[in-house]
Amino acid sequence: MFYITEVEDYVRVDPKLFGLPTEEAVEKQLFETYKEYYDKQLGHAITVIEVLEVGEGVIIPGDGAAYYKSTFKLLVWKAELQELVYGKISEITNFGAFIDLGSMQGMIHISQTMDDYVSFSKANSLLGKVSNRGLKSGDLCLARIVAISHKGDDPKVGLTMRQPGLGKLEWIKEDQLKKISDEKKAAKAAEKGTKGTKGAKK
């Protein structure tokens, strides 16, 4: 989920930025610092939206940089359990698929790709035995976050597409059309039944 959060921190401005006006130097440093920044509590930093305040600079002996107490706004994305996410399949493996969520990558175990028996094909795709549905790199999908692990440098996001309304976008559309068709058939059958009952009463 995307959040706008306000942060107050001492920003270490590298000496190479000393020739710039203070606020501009702090802003450039913030963009550099938070470019690939991830924090378990905060989430994954997307961009610095605005620098609200820059205080007086402090130089620490033995460190050539300057530190400015600053307040700024960040746009962050934090994975939340049960959240629906949209992304593109970036890689297919024999144990599942990786999906690019934009700011982060998620993993779908082969057993969670679809409600079917799934196998890895020589064409580098995952195939459903009964449905004959295939999943390959580049496919656009809708999934749900079911696990989040913070072990190691990068967070691990576990996904599922087995629940109704999830999966490859083409599958979702097919399922919706089938549901509409089944509802129409059921309505027609009910209508015929009602007419037959009325005819019998006469």
The answer to whether the beta carbons of residues 143 and 161 sit under 8 Å apart is yes
pLDDT recorded at residue 200: 54
Spans in the chain with pLDDT lower than 50: none
The highest-level CATH class for domain 84-175 is mainly beta
The answer to whether the beta carbons of residues 77 and 1 sit under 8 Å apart is yes
pLDDT recorded at residue 12: 92
Tokens of 111: 């057993």
CATH T-level assignment (fold) for domain 2-77: Dna Ligase; domain 1 (3.30.1490)
pLDDT recorded at residue 132: 92
Domain boundaries, the chain: 2-77, 84-175
pLDDT recorded at residue 87: 95
pLDDT recorded at residue 125: 94
Q: pLDDT of 14-73, one tens digit each?
A: 989 988 999 999 999 999 999 888 888 888 999 999 999 999 888 888 888 999 999 999
pLDDT recorded at residue 50: 92
